[in-house]
Amino acid sequence: MIAKIYNTKGEIVGETELPSEIFEVEFNPDLVHQIVVSQMANKRQPIAHTKNRAEVSGSGRKIWPQKHMGRARHGDIRAPIFRHGGVAHGPRKEKIYKVKIPKKMKRKALFMVLSQKARDNELILLDELKIDQPKTKLMAKIIKNLREKIENFKKGSVLIAIPKKDEKLILAARNIPKVGILEARNLNCLDLLNYKFLLMPKESIEKIKETFLKK
């Protein structure tokens, strides 16, 4: 697959052939869904917590005799049926939501999403992405230039994948609405699907190959 390369002014400066093993993988929605669900589950923090009948305060004595009272049979006052009693089947913070997924499946799903981005013309490649100062207006200007020149890039959220950590770029991009930024080695299905476009310098492709195609 051939992709156009732009400069930060939005002008076409060349073309490059995308590696087929990453950008020409057939999309499998079931696999991608499985990976996204596992990622969301692994990020989940079980905060909600209720006390059961063993944990609430109160006596454990039987509240009235079993027979000859004309009332229903009960044990102690901490039973879930009573006010201030323990909660039955409530949420517990000990619950583990994590889901283990094989690395090969995660890698395959990532390639599927990247391939779909390329097929849908939602992958924007730059010859380079550099700024002199960590200024939001500099990054906003670059994105504005690209939106003005690239037809299908007029609107929509953008994920920027940089080849290596660059504090200037990170600081410049983090305050722009609907714009995210991360290192190419940290690309994942959930982040890619949360943004419409993927914007990255061509150098990031080599970083993706180095990270995800290694034996």
Domains of the chain: residue spans and CATH: 2-45+102-213 (3.40.1370.10)
pLDDT per position as a tens digit, 128-158 = 999 999 999 999 999 999 999 998 999 999 9
pTM score of the predicted model: 0.86
Q: What is the mean pLDDT of residues 2-21?
A: 94
How many CB atoms are closer than 10 A to CB 63? Answer: 15
Residue 102's pLDDT is: 96
DSSP, collapsed to helix, strand or coil, labels residue 183 as strand
Instruction: Specify whether the CB–CB gap between 62 and 76 falls below 8 A.
Output: yes
Q: Is 70 exceeded by the pLDDT of residue 215?
A: no
Q: What is the pLDDT of residue 39?
A: 96
Assign residue 156 a region: left if phi > 0, alpha if psi is -120 to 50, beta otherwise?
left
How remote is the C-alpha of 95 from its chain's centroid?
A: 22
Percent of the chain with pLDDT over 90: 96
Kindly report the length of the chain: 215
Q: What's at 120, amino acid-wise? A: D
Using DSSP bridges, classify how beta strands 179-183 and 12-17 pair: parallel, antiparallel or unpaired: unpaired
Q: Which residue has the tokens 């060349």?
A: 14
* DSSP category for residue 63: S
Q: At what angle do helices 103-119 and 29-43 cross, to 10 degrees?
A: 120
Measured distance CA(17)–CA(15) in Å, rounded: 7
155 φ, ψ (degrees, to nearest 5): -150, 160
So what's the pLDDT on residue 170?
Answer: 96
Instruction: Assign 12 to helix, strand or coil.
Output: strand
Lookup: tokens for 55: 């944990």
Q: Which residue has the tokens 């994920």?
A: 159
Which tokens hold the place of 205?
A: 């492709």
